[in-house]
Amino acid sequence: MEKGYMSIRSERKEEHLKLAQMFFNKQKYNSFDQLHLLRPALPETNVDPTILTTEMFNKSVSAPFFINAMTGGSPKSKIVNQALGKVAAKEKIALALGSASILAKEDDQLDSFYVARSKNPDGILIVNVNPETPVKAIHKIIQELNADALQIHLNTVQEIAMPEGDRDFHWLDNIKEICNQVNIPIIIKEVGFGLDQNTIHILKNEGIQYFDIAGSGGTNFAQIENARNKNDVSYLEDIGLPTVISALMAKKEQVNFIVSGGVRNPLDILKGLTLSGQYIGISNVFLQEFNQNGIDGLENLIASWKKQLAALIAIYGKKDLASLPSIPKYYDLPLKTQINQLIR
Ligand code: FNR
């Protein structure tokens, strides 16, 4: 391949990284702001960071939050993945890579993913594919990256917002096939528009055991793709299911789930855990910390979030992760109204 050449897929990955930075808004108001937790003035607790240690896919991690899927498949994404791999290893938290479906067509891009595994040989590494990826390619990806779990992303809104995106969403048969043939844990994931209860229900009945609800309120792929699109599709930016609602839907379905989408700080993490999320995924906040302050900055942020999360747990009167869902919650009226209409 001539030097400097990038495929359309690789170029898209680079554009996503650039636009995710351009549209980043750390303070953006979202559904977590409409969820409140009741705090005992006399908690009878002490701050103990060791209580954050937990199990994830048969390995120990130092915290219930992790770096969620972002990139791979281009020169810039290789730099990012190498850094994320280092940070995940140092901080002993899980790392999900961005979609590796590109490897089914361009296997010379493997290195841009593998750098994360080579920097973090023993940690939890989650690989990510689109729901159309052939099982054979998935087996290869899992083996080459020695993956601990597989995320399959459902991203209809993003595909429609993408000028070159898919227009055929008959995905269930391939998901069933993957589910039958792949023997590591499978996580069905949205990309920031939220998983709805019926979809969770259908896939639960097909044997899927983990869901990453990836609700709206953080990174907005309609906004990112709209910036790449000649046609204005900005109306798609507001059709996502807010993270708190999507989490309540997953809870109602009694599945294991990850809360992600718009997690901005340790309080959002705590709120996600009180909603019964098993783990909490964070994407763009961590990426932008790396962009601004490098590997050291991201390591410091994660180390500090662990301390702050442990402090919050003490403030709210709890002594372990398992008891967090018992913290009393209340909602602002707009969110409560949506919950009343949607959660049955
Ligand atoms: C993403 N996200 C994503 N998700 C996925 O399943 N596969 C992917 O390849 C990507 N790629 C990607 C690139 C970039 C640059 C960003 C910022 C995000 C979506 C991501 O995993 C997550 O669901 C959303 O970003 C919402 O979480 P945050 O960013 O609000 O924490």
Place of tokens 């996503």: 16
Q: Is 8 contained in some domain?
A: no
Strands (E), 27-70: 35-37, 54-56, 59-61, 65-67
Q: Is 128 annotated for ligand binding?
A: yes
Q: Is the predicted pLDDT of residue 2 greater than 60, yes or no?
A: no
Q: Is 255 contained in some domain?
A: yes
Q: How confident is the model at residue 27 (pLDDT cuts 50, 70, 90)?
A: confident
Instruction: Residue 8: name the closest of 165, 222, 132 by CA.
Output: 165
Report how many domains make up the chain.
1
What pLDDT was estimated at residue 212?
Answer: 99
DSSP code for 71: -
Q: Is 163 contained in some domain?
A: yes
Measured over the CA atoms of residue 61, residue 66, residue 72 and residue 77, the dihedral's sign is negative
Mean pLDDT of 306-311: 98
Residue 31 CB less than 6 A away from ligand 1: no
Residue 283 CB less than 6 A away from ligand 1: yes
Give how far Cα 135 sits from Cα of 129, 130, 165, 182, 207, Å.
10, 11, 21, 8, 17
Strands (E), 100-180: 125-129, 149-153
- Decide: helix, strand or coil at residue 56: strand
Q: How confident is the model at residue 4 (pLDDT cuts 50, 70, 90)?
A: low
Length of the chain measured in residues: 344
Q: Is 228 annotated for ligand binding?
A: no
Q: Is 197 contained in some domain?
A: yes
State pLDDT tens for residues 193-232.
999 999 999 999 999 999 999 999 999 999 999 999 888 9
DSSP code for 142: H
Q: Is the predicted pLDDT of residue 1 greater than 70, yes or no?
A: no
Residue 128 CB less than 6 A away from ligand 1: yes
**43 C-alpha to ligand 1 centroid (Å):** 37
CATH code, 221? 3.20.20.70
Residue 263 CB less than 6 A away from ligand 1: yes
Q: Is 283 annotated for ligand binding?
A: yes
State pLDDT tens for residues 313-342.
999 999 999 999 999 999 999 999 999 999
Residue 131 CB less than 6 A away from ligand 1: no
Among the atoms of ligand 1, which is closest to the Cα of residue 262?
30
Check if the beta carbon of residue 73 is closer than 8 Å to that of residue 13.
yes
Q: Is 10 contained in some domain?
A: no
Say what the ipTM of the complex is.
0.99
Q: What is the CB neighbour count within 10 angstroms for residue 110?
A: 18
**100 C-alpha to ligand 1 centroid (Å):** 13
Q: How confident is the model at residue 344 (pLDDT cuts 50, 70, 90)?
A: confident
Backbone angles phi, psi at 62, to 5 degrees: -85, -10
Q: Is 3 contained in some domain?
A: no
Residue 98 CB less than 6 A away from ligand 1: yes
DSSP code for 4: T
Q: Is 263 annotated for ligand binding?
A: yes
Q: Is 6 contained in some domain?
A: no
What is the percentage of the chain residues whose pLDDT exceeds 90? 96
Mean pLDDT of 273-295: 98
Place of tokens 């359309």: 8
Q: Is 7 contained in some domain?
A: no
What pLDDT was estimated at residue 231?
Answer: 85
Alpha-carbon gap, residue 11 to 288, rounded angstroms: 20
Q: Is 219 annotated for ligand binding?
A: yes
Q: How confident is the model at residue 38 (pLDDT cuts 50, 70, 90)?
A: very high
What range defines the domain where residue 280 resides? 19-342
Mean pLDDT of 134-151: 98
Q: Is the predicted pLDDT of residue 107 greater than 60, yes or no?
A: yes
Tokens matching residue 47: 């701050």
State pLDDT tens for residues 58-98.
999 999 999 999 999 999 999 999 999 999 999 999 999 99
Q: Is the predicted pLDDT of residue 262 greater than 90, yes or no?
A: yes
